[in-house]
Structure 1
Amino acid sequence: MVLIFLGIIILVVGSVLKRSDTAGSRFSGIATTAGIVLMVLGVFLSAFKTISPGQAGVQTLFGKVQNNVLESGLHVVNPLVDVTTFNIQTQNYTMSGVHSEGDVAGDDAIRVLCSDGLEVTIDLSVLFRVNEAKAPFIYQNIGIDYLDKLVRPVTRTVLRDNAVNYQAVDLYSTKRQQFQDRIFQTISSNFAKNGLELQQILVRNVSLPASVKASIESKINAEQEAQKMQFVLQKERQEAERKRVEAQGIADYQKILSTGLSDKQLQYESIQAQKAIATSANAKVIIMGNGKTPVILGNQ
């Protein structure tokens, strides 16, 4: 486009020089030829447009946006058309409290107010892409700076509007996924109306106030101590039950002995024990009494 206008200017200059009577009129032919060459070269170069992979081209003719989108590849277009390319690949827009992580330098985390009045800080990543067919709409109604005009303000507003329905502790723990799904639906609907496709919302970090963190840690420690005490009590109950069963067994055994053994049975058991002792290598002399306990004399 620039070469075409430059060629026209040189061509007009050559025409003016040709009509003048000055010494410069002899260069009118060179100027005219140069102007024509530049115009032809400009038309040739402007007629061919190459769109890179992952890009989509939006054509504008004298300020009017054309609806047909140029896909990746080589295209022959009107030389007077201006082509603006859009990235249609997945893009990641991160808002983080870490200075070197987010798209905006410094602390860019989102601070929201919860239903219990506590302020929570959220780090968030938004994965989205430009709808190729909607690229002309975006260019005409939003512009190429759709990150600052659409992605950033919509995301931060939706987070703040939905966080008021949750308590701070719930966002940190039990209802974090529910909160993430909820804001995904709202942001996705808003993006779709403006030519963007939301692919994923990532709640990367939820930071609670220091006082709430300390309270949660104290509660967790108390729960752990209670679970530990329950384990100790259960162990003691099992040990007490074991001792009771053991005592009951001893008592039953003693009862059986006291009621089930006769004098003859005891005498028989005594004889069997004496026979075992007599055959032992340590036994030397056994002196038997009249039903009394025998006296054993050995070499020990």
Structure 2
Amino acid sequence: MLLIILGVILLVTGSWFKRTPSINPAYSPVISVSGIAMLLLGLSFSVFKVIEPGKVGVKTLFGKVENDVLPSGLHFINPLVDVTTFDAKTQNYTMSGQSNEGQKEGDDAIRILSADGLEVTIDLSVLFRLKADQAPFILQNIGADYLDKIVRPVSRTAIRDNAVYYEAVALYSTKRQEFQDKIYRTISESFAKRGLELQQLLIRNITLPQSVRATIESKINAEQDAQKMQFVLQKERQQAEQKRIQAQGIADYQRIIATNLTEQQLQYESIQAQKAIALSPNTKVILMGNGKGAPIILGDKN
């Protein structure tokens, strides 16, 4: 549009130079030709409009937003129409305590008060996309800066409004998924009314106050110590049971032997033991006898 206006100005200027006798008429053709070239160039840029992949265009004529949407590709349009492009791909808006992770510089984490009055810090990522057919509605009612007007405030408000129903430790542990599902529904409903579609919500981190973290760590250590002591006691009970079974086995063996052992069996066992000793390479002479007869002499030589 600017090139068209400049071209028209140059054409008018060239015509005025031509009708003014005091000005060298040689300038008039140069100015007129430049004006025509600029006018044609401006018309070519204004008539043909390319929409990049993943984007859509919304036409505005003299401040009035038109309802039809330009998809990606080459389009032939009215040169007086102004086209505003919107990103229709999935977008990620992150609010984090780390200075280099979010859209805002510095600490942009969400600080909320839990049901038990503790301050909890939450890092959040919102994945969403602009509905292509709703782009004219967004331009007319919200504007191109819908990130700052809709995405950011709606997400932060939903976090704060729902966090007041949960205690800090529950947010960190047992109720985390429930809390995330609840704020997902809240944000999704609000986005849908404004031409946006929420695709995914990620609670990236929940930071508790230092005093609460210390209490949780102390509790975890105590539970680990209790589990360790339980293991030691169980092991000692198993060892005691093993010793009791061994002692019972020995007692049963001795009772059986004491009941069934005879003098002939004792004599037989003695002979077997002495025979084993006699056959040992370390044995020289063994005297065997029971006191009733001549002893038997065994040796390593005949």
Fold shared, TM-score > 0.5 on shorter chain:
yes
- How far apart, in 2, do the equivalents of 1:182 and 1:124 lie? 14
- How far apart, in 2, do the equivalents of 1:215 and 1:28 lie? 87
In structure 2, the residue matched to 1:270 is 270
Where 2:79 maps in the other structure, the secondary structure is: coil
Aligned partners of 1:283 and 1:296 also within 8 Å: no
In structure 1, the residue matched to 2:291 is 290
Which residue identity lines up with residue 170 of structure 1 in the other structure?
Answer: A
Distance 1:54 1:296, change over 3 A: farther
Q: Taking every aligned residue pair, what percent have the same amino acid on both sides?
A: 64
- How far apart, in 1, do the equivalents of 2:284 and 2:92 lie? 95
- Matched ranges for 1:1-300 at <5 A: 1-14=1-14, 22-24=21-23, 26=25, 34-281=34-281, 282-290=283-291
Distance 1:9 1:261, change over 3 A: same
Aligned partners of 1:116 and 1:167 also within 8 Å: yes
Where 1:205 maps in the other structure, the secondary structure is: strand
Deviation at 1:139, TM superposition (A): 0.8
Distance 1:116 1:283, change over 3 A: same
Distance 1:253 1:60, change over 3 A: same
- How far apart, in 1, do the equivalents of 2:37 and 2:290 lie? 147
Aligned partners of 1:14 and 1:29 also within 8 Å: yes
Aligned partners of 1:115 and 1:167 also within 8 Å: yes
Distance 1:66 1:295, change over 3 A: farther
- After alignment, is 37-46 or 239-248 more displaced? 37-46
- After alignment, is 129-138 or 262-271 more displaced? 262-271
Where 2:199 maps in the other structure, the secondary structure is: strand
Aligned partners of 2:96 and 2:109 also within 8 Å: yes
Aligned CA RMSD, in angstroms, stands at: 2.4
Aligned partners of 1:277 and 1:283 also within 8 Å: no
Distance 1:290 1:134, change over 3 A: same
Deviation at 1:8, TM superposition (A): 3.1
Gaps of 5+ in 2: none
Aligned partners of 1:128 and 1:197 also within 8 Å: yes
- How far apart, in 2, do the equivalents of 1:285 and 1:10 lie? 140
- How far apart, in 1, do the equivalents of 2:37 and 2:291 lie? 148
Deviation at 1:3, TM superposition (A): 2.2
Aligned partners of 1:120 and 1:208 also within 8 Å: yes
Which residue identity lines up with residue 108 of structure 1 in the other structure?
Answer: D
- How far apart, in 2, do the equivalents of 1:63 and 1:176 lie? 47
Which residue identity lines up with residue 288 of structure 1 in the other structure?
Answer: G
Deviation at 1:210, TM superposition (A): 0.5
- How far apart, in 1, do the equivalents of 2:33 and 2:271 lie? 143
CA displacement 1:35-78 (0-9 Å, x = unmatched):
45543442232110011112111111111111111111111001
- How far apart, in 1, do the equivalents of 2:45 and 2:232 lie? 85
Deviation at 1:264, TM superposition (A): 2.0
- How far apart, in 1, do the equivalents of 2:74 and 2:292 lie? 124
- How far apart, in 1, do the equivalents of 2:288 and 2:51 lie? 120
Deviation at 1:295, TM superposition (A): 9.2
Deviation at 1:12, TM superposition (A): 4.1
Aligned partners of 1:278 and 1:286 also within 8 Å: no
- After alignment, is 98-107 or 28-37 more displaced? 28-37
Which residue identity lines up with residue 255 of structure 1 in the other structure?
Answer: R
Distance 1:62 1:264, change over 3 A: same
Where 2:84 maps in the other structure, the secondary structure is: strand
Gaps of 5+ in 1: none
